[in-house]
Amino acid sequence: MNHRQVGVDLFNDVWRLLESRKDDERMLHAAHASAYHWSEAPECEPKNRARSEWQVSRVYAVLGRGEPAVHHAQRCLEICEANAENMEDWDLAFAYEALARAHSVAGHSDEAHGFRERARAAGEQIADPEDREHLEEALGTLAG
């Protein structure tokens, strides 16, 4: 079995399901399955694990489930911080974005605001203007 390819395919399926909201249970299971298959791939790097945690957090946030969204966003941040030298310049900003979103869903407005500001500050370190724009778009979808 090619775990990497299965992980990639499931990751992309989750994006389609996030956009359509046709099958929330499938979306949640696919996000976890993608994370699992990526973790089993020989070429899995910390950045792949962090992005998997980010996506799982996003799914839980979309589903309005704050506690697991916070848990997976925190895991994303921990992986980014422990492997900073191997991350892209946008990974940390998106870890903070995930925490802002998750805390917002969980009803923790002070934490959500703090992580939104940290995401914006980290976003200033992103070299590619298109990547910065993606971050600003994501931050723009946050409540409050």
| pLDDT tens-digit readout, 57-76 | 999 999 999 999 999 999 99
Assess if residue 47 is contained within a domain.
no
Q: Give domain status of residue 118, yes or no.
A: yes
- pLDDT over 70 at 49, yes or no: yes
Average pLDDT over residues 3-28: 97
Q: Does 48 fall in a domain?
A: no
Indicate the average pLDDT of the chain. Answer: 97
What pLDDT does residue 38 have? 96
Compute the distance between CA of residue 134 and CA of residue 90 in angstroms, rounded to an integer: 10
The pLDDT of residue 18 is 96
Residue 143's pLDDT is: 77
Domains: count for the chain: 1
Residue 52 belongs to some domain of the structure: no
- List the domain range (segments joined by +) for residue 116: 66-144
Whether 143 is covered by a domain: the verdict is yes
Could you tell me if residue 59 is inside a domain? no
DSSP secondary structure string for all residues of 101-142: HHHHHTT-HHHHHHHHHHHHHHHTT---HHHHHHHHHHHHTS
3-class state of residue 124 by DSSP? coil
Identify the pLDDT of residue 52. 98
Could you tell me if residue 114 is inside a domain? yes
pLDDT-derived band at 144, boundaries 50, 70, 90: low
Assigned domain for 36 exists: no
Helix, strand counts (H, E) of the chain: 7, 0
